[in-house]
Amino acid sequence: MTSLWTSEEIATATDGTASQLFEVTGVTFDSREVGPGDLFVAMPGTVYDGHMFVEGAFEAGAAGAIVSRPVSGPHVLVDDVAAALEALGRASRARSGATILGVTGSVGKTSTKEALFAALDRNRPGKVHRSVKSYNNHTGVPLSLARMPRDAEFAVLEMGMNNAGEISALVKQVRPHLALITAIAPAHIENLGSEEAIADAKAEIFSGLERGGIAIIPNDTPHRDRLVKAARRHADQIITFGGGDADVHAIHAVTANGGGSLISAALLERELTFTISQRGEHWVSNALAVLAAVEAIGADVAVAGLALADLGGLKGRGERHHIELGGGEILLIDESYNANPASMAATLKSLGAEQDVSRRIAVLGPMRELGEHSQELHAGLAPAVLDAHVDRLILIGEEMKPLAEEVVGKISLDLVASVDEATEGLLKSLRPGDAVLVKASNSVGLAKLVERVAGGVACSM
């Protein structure tokens, strides 16, 4: 494999001292992910210090390490490992000739990032880099930058936040040529206080745009003008996507055979008819954002449309499992990774649109970081649940009690204390023809329920 970093380059970037000459082909700070040729970054932690795992990293094949105290093995010695990772990320960005695309938003940023990667990779196979998982914070972003191949032509990097000022710090490292906001919703409202403050925090992504930068903004938000105003201070071009008078919008969108949507879209310079494999109106919006970005940077939108048609299910974000049961099958829709009011409503609407199912079951856990708005926003999910014609609703935890109180007597309802209790109750009652939606904030741990129920997966879509 092509060298990603040499020991001399690492030492120069981090102002460290190399113990010997070495080259690495990858970078990680998770000892469980170390593979042959990797650079292991021994990050400090609140519970475990990465230096505890250096020996194991070398045993797993690491070619070198960044450490703040000498170890037996090839390494670069630095004063501060976290600062060194950030410095390595900045050095990667400085040497790169790639077109950099930054993505943020309250809803759909990881899904849109993956779709944008797929669209660009279909244009330039093997020449596109992206953040993996949801590596979008103060450690994930510099790691994603440090991993960027020397010859990357495009890079799609996700940025997240819990508080004001965090994206501003991240985007100074990323320095994107294009910045995209997927949507504004009351995620993290506990910390920020209002949707207006959330919009302002997301709009910080525009502050790091390179000269000639492009801003991609959702049209379907009451905060559109606020975002446009923020973008004007930094962007040379502003493009809106979505409904109404958006620059990039769907002329029409209908359900496609086998799910997903068939869309005819008006782009900046042309119209395009394409299909997306993912189900739900929110994915129509995601697709329009992707095509707006692809067209804006001069890549082939028709090729991008083909990639959207082939986009597979994303773990924890709509992945669909077809599970054999009693001579038939059930459909398990895994939305366990994250939840806020907007994404809850969108996925419930998709569940309601499922055809040829005998029952619709929703297993819902709390939406976190809503603060004083928690009761109101959980209760506010009731119309979406009822409109989706859910036949059975399993709610987990005291935070879901306001929703339970809104729908009691209108729907078959179980309010349980734990994920384990929800899992047992679901497994006992499943029957062929059921469609099951599983959704909550990631910290609830509903992925464990998905793993247990999907243990007999026959095929996945």
In this prediction, residue 1 carries a pLDDT of 66
Q: Tell me whether residue 108 is annotated as binding.
A: yes
Q: Tell me whether residue 109 is annotated as binding.
A: yes
pLDDT digits (tens, 9 = 90+) for 222-249: 999 999 999 999 999 999 999 989 999 9
In this prediction, residue 150 carries a pLDDT of 96
**Residue keyed to tokens 């994404």:** 343
pLDDT at 260 over 90: no
pLDDT-derived band at 460, boundaries 50, 70, 90: very low
pLDDT digits (tens, 9 = 90+) for 29-58: 999 999 999 999 999 987 889 999 999 999
Q: Tell me whether residue 111 is annotated as binding.
A: yes
| Closest to 303 in 3D by CA, of 72, 124, 55 | 124
Quote the DSSP letter at residue 110: H
The token duo for 97 is 């000739």
Backbone angles phi, psi at 109, to 5 degrees: -70, -40
Give the burial class of 59: count Cβ atoms within 10 A of its Cβ; 0-12 exposed, 13-18 middle, 19 or more buried: exposed
Q: Tell me whether residue 261 is annotated as binding.
A: no
Mean local confidence (pLDDT), 385-410? 96
Alpha carbon distance 253, 264 (integer Å) = 6
Alpha carbon distance 134, 302 (integer Å) = 28
| Closest to 318 in 3D by CA, of 130, 158, 110, 132 | 110
Could you give the count of Cα atoms lying within 13 Å of 83 in the half-sphere of its Cβ?
Answer: 8
Alpha carbon distance 164, 194 (integer Å) = 12
Alpha carbon distance 346, 362 (integer Å) = 13
Q: Tell me whether residue 110 is annotated as binding.
A: yes
**For residue 453, how many other CB atoms are within 10 A of its CB?**
22
Alpha carbon distance 438, 432 (integer Å) = 17
pLDDT at 389 over 80: yes
pLDDT at 312 over 80: no
Alpha carbon distance 174, 170 (integer Å) = 6
Amino acid present at 108? G
The residue ranges of DSSP E strands in 237-378, in sequence order, are 237-242, 248-255, 261-266, 271-276, 319-325, 328-335, 359-364
Q: Tell me whether residue 113 is annotated as binding.
A: no
In this prediction, residue 135 carries a pLDDT of 87
Count the helix, strand and coil residues of the chain and give each as a percent rounded to the nearest 5. 40, 25, 35
Q: Which domains does the chain have, with CATH numbers?
A: 5-81 (3.40.1390.10), 96-310 (3.40.1190.10), 319-460 (3.90.190.20)
In this prediction, residue 333 carries a pLDDT of 92
State the DSSP H helix or E strand holding residue 346, giving kind and residue range, or none if neither. Answer: helix 341-352
Buried b (16+ CB within 10 A) or exposed e, 398-429: ebbebbbebbeeebebbbbeebeebbeebeee
Contact 57, 65 (CB under 8 A): yes
